[in-house]
């Protein structure tokens, strides 16, 4: 949007709101003036007509803020007081004492109805907003890892299924990168779990720096992470994995000597469904572990028979 368009949008917002206020304010004030100036007295009794103002007061309280409600109520009361003092309107025909009481009762009804109802509506709106915020926070907590603030495995399963369906429709590829930290157990043994948590959070920060806005980073579990790269080629996924592997290697001192092994698989070249894609990336990761860690391996059919995802007979080595 250009500068002129943005300026028009800023102007049209207040103008639109002012138009809404005037749409209810003008009939409300015109009716108040007609009643209290005796303009309708020759054809209609003025006293019952005072109740016709209340629907406008209620509508204003439901649709606008406290400032607008207060201003319109004040204008209606000013019209009523002015014409009553001038000897016109439904309350002027009574003696002074009853006339003032009727005027006060009218003003109290208008003000109380407008402001109290507006306050109730405002409190209800704030309660709904607080509830919506709480629900949003709760949803985020169920799909994010509390330590690293990355998405968790639950989110990964749902997201990957949707993403592969979209990729099938659009004829694009999706890359999955499995990452496992090398020698992470040694960090927990020497620096304690606090040191391990520090390394995990630093890895999460590093991953966020190396992914695009359309990519998704998840903590798969323990010291394992998963990246999903929509609309990625095998070459771009390999390049991203190697950059991450090198970045972790370069931060060796900060990360207490931890490196990373990475496995890359591509949909639909290597797998046709979410589980198979993750399994293929995991097998490539296992191949990287077997070949000495601290490297990137691409899934190959020849490695498919080496292991299965979380095989009971083949465990990764964590020195």
Both structure tokens of 65: 């803020």
Pairing of strands 224-230, 216-221: antiparallel
**Taking Cα atoms as reference points, which of 55, 61, 50, 48 lies closest to residue 21?**
61
Pairing of strands 296-298, 224-230: unpaired
Rounded Cα distance, 244 and 246, in Å = 5
Residue 4's Cβ-count burial label (10 Å; 0-12, 13-18, 19+) is exposed
**Taking Cα atoms as reference points, which of 296, 205, 297, 292 lies closest to residue 251?**
205
Rounded Cα distance, 18 and 92, in Å = 34
Among this protein's residues, is 223 annotated catalytic? yes
Contact between 145 and 199 under an 8 Å Cβ cutoff? The reply is no
Q: 86: helix, coil or strand?
A: coil
Rounded Cα distance, 295 and 172, in Å = 27
- Of 68, 223, 242, 290, the catalytic one is 223
**Taking Cα atoms as reference points, which of 179, 165, 178 lies closest to residue 268?**
165
Both structure tokens of 42: 């020759």
Contact between 22 and 63 under an 8 Å Cβ cutoff? The reply is no
> Which amino acids are annotated catalytic?
223
């Amino acid at each position: 949007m250009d500068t002129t368009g943005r300026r028009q949008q800023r102007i049209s917002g207040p103008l639109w709101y002012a138009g809404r206020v005037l749409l209810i304010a003008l009939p409300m004030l015109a009716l108040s003036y007609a009643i209290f100036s005796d303009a309708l007295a020759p054809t209609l009794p003025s006293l019952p007509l005072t109740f016709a103002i209340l629907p406008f007061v209620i509508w204003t309280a439901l649709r606008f803020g406290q400032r607008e409600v207060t201003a319109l109520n004040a204008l209606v009361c000013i019209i009523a007081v002015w014409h009553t003092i001038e000897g016109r309107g439904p309350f002027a025909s009574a003696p002074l004492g009853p006339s003032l009481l009727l005027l006060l009762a009218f003003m109290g009804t208008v003000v109380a109805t407008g402001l109290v109802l507006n306050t109730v509506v405002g409190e209800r709106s704030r309660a709904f907003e607080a509830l919506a915020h709480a629900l949003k926070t709760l949803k985020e907590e169920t799909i994010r890892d509390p330590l690293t603030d990355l998405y968790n495995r639950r989110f990964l399963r749902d997201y990957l299924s949707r993403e592969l369906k979209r990729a099938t429709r659009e004829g694009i590829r999706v890359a999955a990168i499995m990452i496992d930290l090398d020698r992470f157990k040694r960090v927990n043994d020497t620096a304690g779990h606090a040191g391990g948590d520090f390394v995990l959070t630093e890895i999460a920060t590093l991953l966020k720096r190396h992914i695009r806005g359309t990519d998704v980073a998840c903590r798969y579990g323990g010291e394992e992470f998963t990246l999903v790269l929509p609309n990625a080629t095998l070459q771009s996924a390999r390049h991203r994995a190697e950059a991450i592997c090198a970045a972790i290697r370069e931060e060796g001192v900060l990360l207490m000597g931890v490196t990373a092994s990475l496995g890359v698989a591509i949909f639909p070249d290597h797998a046709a469904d979410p589980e198979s894609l993750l399994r293929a990336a995991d097998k490539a990761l296992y191949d990287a572990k077997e070949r000495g860690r601290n490297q990137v391996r691409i899934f190959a059919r020849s490695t498919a028979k080496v292991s299965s995802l979380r095989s009971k007979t083949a465990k990764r080595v964590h020195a």
